[in-house]
Chain A
Amino acid sequence: MEVVYPGHVKLTDKEKTNICYLSFPDSNSGCMGDTQFHFRIRRCPGRRSVVQAHTDYNKDCPAALQSVVLLSKLPFVTLYNYIVSVIAPEYFDNGEPCLEAACHDIDQWPDPCPGETLNLPIMGTVVQVRLPSRSDKVLTSPQIKNPSVPTMPANNILPSVSEVDVYSAFLPVLPHIQMLWELVLIGEPLVVMANSPTICSGTVQALVSTIWPFKYCMDFRPYFTIHDSEFREYTTKTQAPPAVILGVTNPFFAKTLQHWPHVLRIGELAVSSPKTINKLKKVGTIKTLDSKPGYPDKEASGGSECNALKRYLLELTQSFMIPLERYVASLMPLQRNISPHKGPPRLKSFDTEAFLKTIEHSGPQLTSGLKGDWIALYRRFFRSGNFEGWLRFRQEEVNQKLQALHLEVLCQADLLTWIQDKQEVEIVDLILRLREKLAKINENQLPVSNDMLSRLQHHHDMIVCSLPEDLQSVLKSNHGN
């Protein structure tokens, strides 16, 4: 590694080795000229967070194989690919000052804030991007990007920070698109074999995006090589293949991963047959839906092919998601059960069998024309990390909302009247609950207005004052700690 910018960044030796190996071709198979792709690595010190890297290497002269890698924790694939494509040629021509200047540009970028349109200076131009926001996801009416009027003229307007061109990525395997969607949804081990890192990383990224607005919760490596520190872990034959999606180029993997249930080959692999083969190898059928309808080409008339494909995938995912959302909504406690004298209510637990019963009359068949064994697909989904991740996120979200509702009720309640005929124990209990709330608010765990906060504090102080003096002092000293 020649240089690392900015200078204060510390990478462990293992991270460095991984980055170095991943920044270059893993095989001799047909990479010509400049190649651009991205990969993910595990961060070392126990933290399992993953770093995205975007590489552009210059292969004009094999003796001087150079590579520029941009590392980031944020999954803004499209943006970073663009940034690397701007920086790398400058670096290959002008060397280090270019990286210094580029890092300085990036230092001046505003903080990423969901839903905002940012103007990002880089190497003399300004890139305009809009960061996605949670409120973008509209479940009832699938919304695919309207080219809206930019608020400020800019040199380069990127339509999205992270959306990949699913259409070009899936073009070779379009007839199988629905099966791929199923595999990703239920978190099956899947390997993409292609002849260039650009293709395999693009395809892997497109795969994980098919189940949006679900988040793909398992590990995925857009580009994975035999030198990767997780190579053993992921290729072991002593255990079942891990629930990950790998993108590889080295033909060696065809052998190493032959026990994997799903292999997606894209394009012509070196050495093998001269014909272009795009096929999905399946070991043991997991087909749950009739894949016959496949990708409806006719719908393409509505817009560009890419948008039609995105809409198709979104509708498919939403058909699957809506019953889940509806069931979660039914688990919400009733408004009248939110009492100021009890703790905040929580979301009831998700009962998969009870959910599957609801599917019989109001399942995805209502919104999707697809026939097939939806129940089996849900069962597979429940066993996957995607379900776990989705449920945990929904629970946190709902519980936070319930906390806020409870807080509102607590603020409005006439607590002083209520405590008049109560035992001291109950009153102290109430005080402790109020304190717990106040602490949470102070830690920014609850979204509360200042007005509400001061009212809550007032309630607390008044109740403490209503107690006998000795108890007051105990509570006060206790509060100090």
Chain B
Amino acid sequence: MRYSDILIMPYENNLERNSVLSASVAKDRIITKFPQVNPLPLYNSIRTLYFSYRLKICKAVLVGDVAVGKSCLVNRFCHDVFNRDYKATIGVDFEVEKFSILSIPFNLQIWDTAGQERFKCIAASYYRGSNVVIVVFDMSDISSLTGVTQWKEDACQNASDPLVFLVGTKKDLLTDTSYGTVEKEAIAIAHEINAEFWAVSSKTGENVKEFFFRVVALTFDDAIQREAESMKTRAKQIGNDFIRIERKQDLYDKKESGFSKCC
């Protein structure tokens, strides 16, 4: 549904050879297609960043009510399994997924938090420094949508301007008509919290991989832009006026259109 804006990027072999990590990246974690933005200058700046080892870590947290299926979503993506028995998460589960984006190694930390009330008090330390906030709700239980705004606010409070996603789970349990109703409400809330809405099923695997790839691609893009911003500031501090900053600016101004766009 949102592949229209995905571009095929040139695949550079010399990058691959220099990469320590890409060797250990699973074949199905290689991203060669990339959404949005003017590709070539972006790619050049990625190269620069890659060679200076300046890529930042990317931290994603999953939040949402008890038993909406946060852990199931992560387990489907990371281990391609689905367990129908419910097991409450203690504290936080942690995963690292390695990707190769345009043949550049990139790691996504996934922090799958517990929905239980008793772990609320420690949540702040787990949210700290998140780049991505994934708010999860159960589409078969519309009441789990009511807490979404609060979850988003709590999580974003301790993060620095993260990308936000709203994920509705258990899509397989819904009929087409009931899905239509839920989707409408979910999109409205997604707009409110400035998030991108995704409907997935961890049981069937529908949209799970697509969702996480979207997360990774956007986060990568975001990380590059932030890095470019900070390089700009650094260049300014040194007082090097030979670097034309304006040129980059209009390139990244398009960023906003990249997400917060719903189906």
**Interface residues as binary, B14-29 with A (CB distance below 8 Å gives 1, 0 otherwise):** 0000001100000000
Evaluate contact between A101 and B128: CB separation under 8 angstroms: no
Q: Does A149 contact B (CB under 8 A)?
A: yes
Q: How far is the CB of A163 from chain B (nearest CB, A)?
A: 23
B96-118 near A? 1/0 per residue, CB < 8 Å: 10000000000101010010001
Q: In the complex the two chains form, is A101's CB within 8 Å of B20's CB?
A: no
Interface contact B91-A119, CB-CB below 8 Å:
no
Q: Is B57 located at the chain interface by the 8 A CB criterion?
A: yes
Q: Which chain A positions have C-beta within 8 A of B20?
A: 151
Task: Tell me how far the C-beta of A72 lies from the nearest C-beta in chain B, rounded to whole angstroms.
Answer: 19
Question: How many cross-chain pairs have Cβ atoms below 8 Å apart between A and B?
Answer: 70
Q: Does B94 contact A (CB under 8 A)?
A: yes
**A98–B109 CB distance below 8 A:** no
- The digit string for B64-99, where 1 denotes a CB below 8 A from any CB of A, is 000000000000000000000000001111101000
Task: Identify which of B93, B109, B119, B125 contacts A108 (C-beta below 8 A).
Answer: B93
Q: Note all chain B residues with C-beta closer than 8 A to A119.
A: 96
- Nearest A residue (CB) for B96: A119
Interchain CB contact under 8 A, A124 and B21: no
6 A-B contact pairs sorted by A residue (CB < 8 Å): A100-B91, A101-B122, A105-B94, A124-B126, A126-B109, A149-B53
Contacting pair A97 B122 (CB below 8 A): yes
- Known pairs A101-B114, A152-B57. 11 more at Cβ < 8 A? A94-B122, A97-B91, A97-B121, A105-B92, A108-B93, A121-B94, A121-B109, A123-B122, A124-B128, A152-B21, A153-B55
Q: Tell me, yes or no, whether A130 is within 8 Å of chain B by CB.
A: no
Contact between chains at A97 and B126 (CB < 8 Å): no
Distance (Å) between the CB of A105 and the closest chain B CB? 7
Quick check: B122 and A155 within 8 Å, CB to CB? no
Chain B residue contacts of A154, Cβ below 8 A:
57
Q: Mark A135-151, 1 if CB is under 8 A from B, else 0.
A: 00000000000000111
Q: Which 3 A-B pairs have the closest CB atoms?
A: A101-B91, A124-B126, A121-B94
Q: Are A125 and B92 in contact (CB under 8 A)?
A: no
Bound-complex Cα distance A150 to B107 (A)? 13
Residues of B1-37 whose CB lies within 8 A of A: 20-21
Which residues of chain A are near B21, meaning CB under 8 Å? 151-152
Closest to A122 in B: B94
B114 proximity list for chain A (CB < 8 A): 101
Identify the closest chain B residue to A124 (Cβ). Answer: B126
Most chain-A CB neighbours within 10 Å: which of B109, B119, B127? B109
Task: Tell me the smallest distance from the CB of B105 to a CB of chain A, in Å.
Answer: 8
CB of B90 within 8 A of CB of A125, answer: no
B53 contact set on A, CB distance < 8 A: 149-150, 153
Query: Is B127 in contact with A95, judged by CB distance below 8 angstroms?
Result: no
Residue A176 interfacial (CB < 8 Å) = no
